A and B are shown apart, each in its own frame.
Chain A
Amino acid sequence: MITLDEASPIPPFEQIREQIGDLIRAGELGPGQRLPSIRQLAGDLRVAAGTVARAYSELETAGLIQTSRATGARVRNGQGLAGDMRRAAMQFVATAHGNSLSLEDALGAIRSQWRQE
């Protein structure tokens, strides 16, 4: 399930691209898994088909999915994060929740640490 926040300053295609990309990297969308058609996702999210098409196009450019006219969009192999990365992320999120951090605060902590490394 993905959610589109109409009040967000982030463009809709970017929200779609980001959430699907995250789900692929987290392994929730496995290799070879089919994604909904552009028309279905656009209808459910109440956006123009072009918005979803652009998100799919960027995901394909990033190598996360492959699209074809015959089979639609599918998750490419080997795009999920390694198991230890996922475990570390789960542990980090649990700690962030324990400290009542918001998502932005938690990401800020990662960015800060990232720059120091």
Chain B
Amino acid sequence: MSHLLVLFLSSALAILVISSGARWISSKRPARAIPAGSGPASKSSENRAMLFAQLRALASIAFAVVLFLALLRASIAFTGQVGLPLALTAGLSASGGLLLYSSLPAPMPPRTGAANASLVPRKPWSFGPRRSFLVPAAIAVCYIGLLVATGLTSSPDELGRYRLIRLAEGAHSTSAGPYPGWFYGVPLMLVTVALAGAAFLALRRISSTPSLPDPRMAALDMQWREISTRVVVRLGTGALLGYAGGTALLAGQAVAGAAANFNQSGHGPLQPLFAVGFAVAVAGPVLVAAGAFLIFLAAKAAFTIRSSARHALAKPADQAPTSQGAGA
């Protein structure tokens, strides 16, 4: 386990070094002024303004992928932990990417002679519809509820680790695993909390980044914040769905396996436990696929922030997505 701890500390150090380096570079490099004028902002100045938003998202996704590969390699090498490091890999990688996103500094503001500011407060939840934040929160609560339920119904193995489900009636008993009991559940709950905290910090970074200096880019400023919020929310929701699906698959398989083995009277699997386990096991891959799809959409959106923001602005007003966000 100490190797895994070293890897976590190395990841935290990498985040610190990358964000400090970016902060140092942005403080040393003279900012290029974007002159304000009366006409529409030029494409090049808009591109320049959008570049940082895209780079920050891409750097965070690249870091999450690198961290995932490093943790995966390390967790495969572990023996005796019965898959626990492997189970934590995806959540820790996504949390690391989001933490890097929240720790990268905002670009140095250019000096234009005049600065403009909206008087509308910006909050972490200002740049997306309410349901886009409620859905992942509900998934997180349901997931923790599932982990508590599986924890309460789990039994210890021969080493005292709560990772089995045991069915018993009189002298007859059977057990199956791996089952997401407390042995897996407690670390998974901690990863869920870490993921939620990292996502909140990333959303706070999006809202607290100073607005674009040119007042003609107010709509563009709103667009990058909305798209970035979508990326963060989809990434977090996708990771949560992936975890919920993986946990459901394991739990369902174990319950169905135990019910199938609990064939005391020779009348086939114990019902309705077998049917419930089978249904939960089938729901698992569906949730995992939905999570993977959301993560794919998040990565795609992160790669196209610049073009998407410009495209959204080019749409006629009646086709543009309605926004509940605050103006910047």
Chain A interface (Cβ < 8 Å from any Cβ of B): 1-7, 20, 23, 29, 34-37, 39-41, 43-47, 72
B117 near A72: Cβ-Cβ < 8 Å:
no
Query: A4 vs B118: C-alpha distance in the bound complex, in angstroms?
Result: 12
The residue of chain B having its C-beta at the shortest distance from the C-beta of A36 within the complex is B121
Q: Count of B residues near A, CB < 8 Å? A: 21
Query: A113 vs B290: C-alpha distance in the bound complex, in angstroms?
Result: 71
The residue of chain B having its C-beta at the shortest distance from the C-beta of A41 within the complex is B117
The residue of chain A having its C-beta at the shortest distance from the C-beta of B110 within the complex is A46
User: For B209, what are the chain A residues with a Cβ–Cβ distance below 8 Å?
Assistant: 43
Question: Residue B122 at the A interface, CB < 8 A?
Answer: yes
B117-137 vs A: 1/0 string, CB under 8 Å?
A: 111111000000000000000
Q: Per DSSP, are chain B's interface residues mostly helix, strand or loop, or mixed?
A: loop
Query: A34 vs B119: C-alpha distance in the bound complex, in angstroms?
Result: 9
User: For B115, what are the chain A residues with a Cβ–Cβ distance below 8 Å?
Assistant: 3-4, 6, 44-47
The 8 Å CB contact of A40, one of B109, B114, B208, is B208
The residue of chain B having its C-beta at the shortest distance from the C-beta of A23 within the complex is B119
A3 near B121: Cβ-Cβ < 8 Å:
no
The 8 Å CB contact of A6, one of B114, B118, B328, is B114
Question: Residue B197 at the A interface, CB < 8 A?
Answer: no
User: For B121, what are the chain A residues with a Cβ–Cβ distance below 8 Å?
Assistant: 34-37, 40, 72
Interface hits, B70-128 → A, CB 8 Å: 106, 109, 111, 113-122
B113 near A1: Cβ-Cβ < 8 Å:
no
B133 to chain A minimum Cβ distance, whole angstroms, is 19
User: For B119, what are the chain A residues with a Cβ–Cβ distance below 8 Å?
Assistant: 1-2, 20, 23, 29, 35-36, 41
Question: Residue B268 at the A interface, CB < 8 A?
Answer: no
The 8 Å CB contact of B215, one of A1, A45, A46, is A1
Question: Residue B210 at the A interface, CB < 8 A?
Answer: yes
B153 to chain A minimum Cβ distance, whole angstroms, is 42
The residue of chain A having its C-beta at the shortest distance from the C-beta of B36 within the complex is A3
Question: Residue B211 at the A interface, CB < 8 A?
Answer: yes
B31 to chain A minimum Cβ distance, whole angstroms, is 10
With most chain A CB atoms within 10 A of its CB, the pick from B111, B120, B121 is B121
With most chain A CB atoms within 10 A of its CB, the pick from B109, B114, B215 is B114
Query: A20 vs B118: C-alpha distance in the bound complex, in angstroms?
Result: 11
